[in-house]
Amino acid sequence: MSCTLLPAGTITVPAGLTAGDQYRLIFITADAYTATSTDINYYNGVVTAEANSVSDLAALDTSWYAVGSTATVNAIDNVGIDSGVAIYDLNGNEIASDAGTTGNGMFNSSGYLLTGLNTNENDGLIPGYVDVWTGTYLGGVPGAHPPLGSASPTAGSSGTNSGFWIAHSEEASTTENRLYAISGVLTVPTPEPPTAFMAAPGAGALMLAVWRRRRRSVSDFGREMRRSRDKPGKSNKRQLPWGMCYTCIDTNE
């Protein structure tokens, strides 16, 4: 199945979060793969490679996991629940409150997400619906639904926030579909302090010394000008401390 990618912007720190807040990111891979492997590490490796092919995501220096189940590993265990850590797509939309099974968790019993998933890692939106391998069902476990590596694994559908996002159909494992990729836990960084001169050790004392020196220079100039007035008939040209010239002429001539 092909689709047209619409340009968007990759948001690696969702709006509204502050320094120290924790969160996770999720996207749909731009490339498609078969689901013949029974090894969950294969799928984790695939989504990690796609994430790290994008500099903004690679810079996060985090782990990436496929939202999928095999016969031996359940999706909920593969990605980790991380209770209370919200999940966002790369457009900054909150997808779920965490990867748990309660409330607005990604694997809740109703299957509903806060927002449908339709963003890939390449700053692109995927319009419409495309099939995405999951091998799992509500609750993050396969249940009666065929896992990845079986003859006809379970596939979800992008673009919907209903339970169909995770379980929509069963397809031959040799079919090429996309995968959901979710990050490890990320933390909003603390902003760097401004690099103004005051950040340098001793800068404040240096500025104070300069100010005092300039103030003394001005005072000394004033005293010299007053002495000049006592010398009649003499024009006195003086250089002000800040580079300007001032001429004093005795008016008693």
pLDDT of residue 232: 54
Q: What share of the chain is helix, strand, coil (3-state, %, to 5)?
A: 25, 20, 55
CA distance 79 to 81: 7
Alpha carbon 127 to its chain's center: 23
- Specify the pTM: 0.75
Q: What is the CATH number of domain 6-187?
A: 3.10.100.10
The pLDDT value given to residue 1? 37
Q: Over the Cα atoms of the chain, what is R_g?
A: 34
pLDDT at position 228, please? Answer: 54
229 near 250, Cβ under 8 Å? Answer: yes
Residue 10's pLDDT is 86
3-state SS assignment for residue 117? coil
- Calculate the CA dihedral of residues 62, 63, 66, 71 and round it to 10 degrees: -160
Q: Average pLDDT by consecutive 10-residue portion of the chain (253 residues)?
A: 47 96 97 98 98 96 98 98 97 97 97 96 86 97 97 97 97 98 97 62 53 55 55 50 45 43
